[in-house]
């Protein structure tokens, strides 16, 4: 059996492997492009060398552009090589730092996860923690019960109060304050009010009416009291949890994971900035090379290769013979380098596509919750084969998700500090648990409320 988290680690490892492969092909492409640029520069140097030896006499020495072109080519090649190597060295260092940061993040996350497991195991063994957890769960259950009972009381009293308020005789006596100490009725009016009160049993009705008007407030007060009990129980529960977390340096290790991720992100930003510097350098270099190329071509336009070859053979100069042979070799190398670039471009495109698809597969796997440590896959589940089939197009992303769903299951973990089972009876508005019962009641005349708390 393998957990969803273990499968996710394999996918993540494959994503990192493809990322490194893509970076390697990108570096190979940069080296090839650099070689082509060097080839072009050397060919221009050879042409300039030949021109400076054989053509200088044909040109006005006071306005000879050939030596200036040669000097510019030499300067450009020297500056380009040095600057390019410096930037590449910085990028290699940044990539090394990124790989180390990846390792640091993985290690910090592994240490943090192991520590979390130790914390949970220690809490699970703590009788005090289990007791505080039970009290918190019971207090939460009491709040639910109180809220339910209060809602029923509000509804019931509202309906009954309407009946009292709709009774004209009761409303008449209530308005005259009959039965209260501030009642001012005298003589015939007092006798008449007494007769009406006796007729409708006003004393009992008034008592019930008063109870109905007070019950909602008492029920709301009980809800507030229950919520305060929840807050106290939660504080007690959190105190023990925080003590254990401090003993295992939970916050420090969590901070270490955050810092490692931040350092890795800084490395990625540095690499992006260095890549931009390379692109800017190449853009400026292309502009300078374009200017020099135009100068050389303008100078050499009137001389064909056959003419240069003839001049070389006629003079017997070892310097121009070497330049011409080197020029021929460079001409032969140019199409080979161009073909290599096309081949590398194709591999880079494939590597980038594989990386993108595998990254999308990883994100889909995580977003659907398959990376949970509670999800298990059978031993026959071959994620490497699935990824290979997905990359070559045998499976779609939907096929992959369906395969993961059909080949995995959620394992319900039983925690030793889980609260006891409880039942809530909505008809009576009470809650009963296996271990506790504390009953509070508010009763007056015809109405009452009951709640069950646990401690």
Q: Which two tokens stand for residue 369?
A: 């919750």
Q: Which two tokens stand for residue 141?
A: 């259950």
- CA 12 to CA 263: how far, in whole Å? 19
The residues spanned by each domain of the chain are 24-126+249-347, 128-248
Model confidence band, residue 31 (pLDDT cutoffs 50, 70, 90): very high
Angle at 331 between CA 330 and CA 332, to 5 degrees: 90
Which is more confidently placed, 150 or 188? Answer: 150
- The predicted pLDDT at position 291 comes to 63
Among 233-237, 268-272, 279-283, 354-358, which is the least confidently predicted range?
Answer: 279-283
Report which DSSP code applies to 429: T
Q: With a cut of 70, say whether residue 308 has pLDDT above it.
A: no
- CA 184 to CA 188: how far, in whole Å? 12
Burial 181-191 (b: 16+ CB within 10 A, else e): eeeeeeeeeee
Q: Which two tokens stand for residue 66?
A: 């050939």
Q: What DSSP line would sit under 244-300, residue for residue?
A: HHHHTTHHHHHHHHHHHHHHHHHHHHHHHHHHHHHHHHHHHHHHHHHHHHHHHHHHH
Average pLDDT, the chain: 72
Model confidence band, residue 237 (pLDDT cutoffs 50, 70, 90): confident
Q: With a cut of 70, say whether residue 23 has pLDDT above it.
A: yes
Q: How many helices (H) and strands (E) does the chain have?
A: 11, 7
Which is more confidently placed, 159 or 56? Answer: 159
Report which DSSP code applies to 415: P
pLDDT tens digits along 70-86? 565 566 666 666 766 77
pLDDT tens digits along 94-110? 888 888 888 888 888 88
Which is more confidently placed, 277 or 453? Answer: 277
Asked: is 24-126+249-347 a CATH 1.10.287 domain? The reply is yes
Q: Is 448 helix (H, G, I), strand (E, B) or coil?
A: strand
Per DSSP bridges, beta strands 375-377 and 409-410 are antiparallel
Model confidence band, residue 27 (pLDDT cutoffs 50, 70, 90): very high
User: Starting at the edge strand that comes first in sequence, how are the strands of the sheet with 375-377 ordered?
Assistant: 2-3, 375-377, 409-410
Neighbours of 421 (CB within 10 A): 7
Residue whose C-alpha is closest to residue 455's, from 300, 233, 299? 233
- CA 126 to CA 312: how far, in whole Å? 95
Which is more confidently placed, 15 or 249? Answer: 15
- The predicted pLDDT at position 343 comes to 92
- The predicted pLDDT at position 162 comes to 76
Residue whose C-alpha is closest to residue 371's, from 6, 115, 1? 6
- CA 174 to CA 167: how far, in whole Å? 10
- CA 179 to CA 21: how far, in whole Å? 94
pLDDT tens digits along 248-271? 777 788 888 888 888 888 888 888
pTM across the whole model: 0.35
Q: Is 132 helix (H, G, I), strand (E, B) or coil?
A: helix
Average pLDDT over residues 399-409: 77
Which is more confidently placed, 351 or 134? Answer: 351
- CA 338 to CA 340: how far, in whole Å? 5
Among 111-115, 128-132, 227-231, 345-349, which is the least confidently predicted range?
Answer: 128-132
Burial 88-111 (b: 16+ CB within 10 A, else e): bebbeebbebbeebbebbeebeee
Q: Which two tokens stand for residue 126?
A: 């703590």
- CA 364 to CA 386: how far, in whole Å? 14
Which is more confidently placed, 152 or 91? Answer: 152
Q: Which two tokens stand for residue 232?
A: 């106290």
Neighbours of 436 (CB within 10 A): 16
Residue with tokens 């072109």: 69
Q: With a cut of 50, say whether residue 436 has pLDDT above it.
A: no
Instruction: Give the list of residues 6+ apart from residue 222 with CB closer than 8 angstroms, or none.
Output: 146, 149, 150, 440, 442, 449, 451
Model confidence band, residue 382 (pLDDT cutoffs 50, 70, 90): confident
- CA 142 to CA 194: how far, in whole Å? 46
Q: Is 426 helix (H, G, I), strand (E, B) or coil?
A: coil
pLDDT tens digits along 176-190? 777 766 677 666 767
Residue with tokens 């109870």: 211
- CA 184 to CA 71: how far, in whole Å? 122
Model confidence band, residue 420 (pLDDT cutoffs 50, 70, 90): very low
Q: With a cut of 50, say whether residue 192 has pLDDT above it.
A: yes
- Residue 101 near residue 263, CB atoms below 8 Å: yes
Burial class (CB in 10 A: 0-12, 13-18, 19+), 11: buried
Residue with tokens 């552009």: 65
* Max avg pLDDT among 97-106, 237-246, 366-375, 412-421: 97-106
Q: With a cut of 70, say whether residue 59 has pLDDT above it.
A: no
- The predicted pLDDT at position 389 comes to 82
* Max avg pLDDT among 215-224, 244-253, 285-294, 299-308: 215-224
Per DSSP bridges, beta strands 430-433 and 438-444 are unpaired
Average pLDDT over residues 105-120: 81
- The predicted pLDDT at position 454 comes to 33
Average pLDDT over residues 362-368: 81
Q: With a cut of 80, say whether residue 48 has pLDDT above it.
A: no
For 262, how many CA atoms within 13 A lie in the half-sphere containing its CB?
6
Q: How far from 431 is each of 28, 92, 165, 421, 423, CA to CA, in Å? A: 71, 67, 34, 11, 6
């Amino acid at each position: 059996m393998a957990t969803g988290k273990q499968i996710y680690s394999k996918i993540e490892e494959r994503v990192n492997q493809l990322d490194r492969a893509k970076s390697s092909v990108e570096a190979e492409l940069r080296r090839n492009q650099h070689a082509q640029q060097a080839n072009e520069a050397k060919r221009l140097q050879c042409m300039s060398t030949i021109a400076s030896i054989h053509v200088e006499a044909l040109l006005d020495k006071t306005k000879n552009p050939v030596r200036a072109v040669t000097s510019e080519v030499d300067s450009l090649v020297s500056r380009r090589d040095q600057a390019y190597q410096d930037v590449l060295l910085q990028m290699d260092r940044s990539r090394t730092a990124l790989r180390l940061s990846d390792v640091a993040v993985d290690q910090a996350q592994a240490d943090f996860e192991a520590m979390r497991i130790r914390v949970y195991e220690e809490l699970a063994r703590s009788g005090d923690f289990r007791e505080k957890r039970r009290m918190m769960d019971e207090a939460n259950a009491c709040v639910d019960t109180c809220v339910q009972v209060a809602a029923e009381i509000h509804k019931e009293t509202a309906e009954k109060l309407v009946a009292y308020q709709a009774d004209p005789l009761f409303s008449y006596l209530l308005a005259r304050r009959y039965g209260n100490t501030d009642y001012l009725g005298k003589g015939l009016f007092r006798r008449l009010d007494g007769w009406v009160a006796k007729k409708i049993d006003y004393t009992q009705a008034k008592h019930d009416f008063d109870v109905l008007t007070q019950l909602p407030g008492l029920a709301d007060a009980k809800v507030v009291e229950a919520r305060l009990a929840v807050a106290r129980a939660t504080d007690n529960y959190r105190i023990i949890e925080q003590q254990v977390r401090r003993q295992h340096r939970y916050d420090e290790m969590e901070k270490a994971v955050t810092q490692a991720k931040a350092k890795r992100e800084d490395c990625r930003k540095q690499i992006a900035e260095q890549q931009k510097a390379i692109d800017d350098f190449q853009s400026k270099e292309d502009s300078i090379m374009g200017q020099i190329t135009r100068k050389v071509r303008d100078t050499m336009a009137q001389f064909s290769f056959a003419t240069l070859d003839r001049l070389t053979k006629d003079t017997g100069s070892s310097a121009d013979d070497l330049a011409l042979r080197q020029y021929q070799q460079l001409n032969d190398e140019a199409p080979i380098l161009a073909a290599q670039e096309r081949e590398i471009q194709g591999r880079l495109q494939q590597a980038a596509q594989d990386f993108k698809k595998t990254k999308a597969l990883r994100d889909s796997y995580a977003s659907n919750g398959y990376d949970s440590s509670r999800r298990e896959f059978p031993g026959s589940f071959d994620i490497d084969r699935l990824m290979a089939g997905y990359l070559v197009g045998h499976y779609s992303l939907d096929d992959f998700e369906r395969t993961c769903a059909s080949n995995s299951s959620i394992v319900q973990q039983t925690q030793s500090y889980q609260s006891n089972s409880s039942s809530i009876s909505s008809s009576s508005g009470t809650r009963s648990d296996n271990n506790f019962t504390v009953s509070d009641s508010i009763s007056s005349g015809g109405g009452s409320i009951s709640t069950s708390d646990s401690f």
